[in-house]
Amino acid sequence: MQTIIEKMKEMQSGQLGVIVYSTKYDNIIASYNNELYVPLASAAKVAIGFAVANRVKSKQISWNDILHQIKFNPKEDSAQLYPHLQGRDTLSHSKAVEVMIACHDG
């Protein structure tokens, strides 16, 4: 983990940070630029993506499973980032997680 943090320091970007939380020790075990604020919605997207990835890892679901009756939020930028997906009412888990994490509310 320290190697990763050292590489991040080399980038010298004020918009880059990491906090590593140990569930075993119930506290933060490493951090870099922990003053950086992460919007709660962005943190929630990462948590949802992590939960889906864990379900895929445990073989409860597949990245290729299809989600039905999806709707894109008109207030977010998916139309600019993923114009080829607009108008669809189904997406695979992999695409849904990708779009969710990549897009931002306007």
Q: Say if residue 32 is in the same domain as residue 44.
A: no
84 lies in the same domain as 100:
yes
In the chain, % of residues over pLDDT 90? 34
If asked whether residues 30 and 42 sit together in one domain, one would say: no
Identify which has the larger pLDDT, 20 or 106: 20
Q: Phi-psi bin for 16: left (phi > 0), alpha (psi -120 to 50), beta?
A: beta
Q: Which residue has the higher pLDDT, 20 or 94?
A: 94
pLDDT surpasses 80 at 94: yes
Domain ranges, residue 104: 38-106
30 and 14 in a common domain? yes
User: Quick one: 31 and 42 in the same domain?
Assistant: no
Q: Confidence band (pLDDT; 50, 70, 90) for 18? A: confident
Q: Which residue has the higher pLDDT, 30 or 38?
A: 30
CB 105 within 8 A of CB 75: yes
Per the prediction, the chain carries an average pLDDT of 84
> Domain check: are 52 and 102 in the same one?
yes
For residue 23, the model assigns a pLDDT of: 81
Residues 6+ apart with CB under 8 A from 71: 89
Residues 51 and 1 in one domain: no
Quote the number of domains for the chain: 2
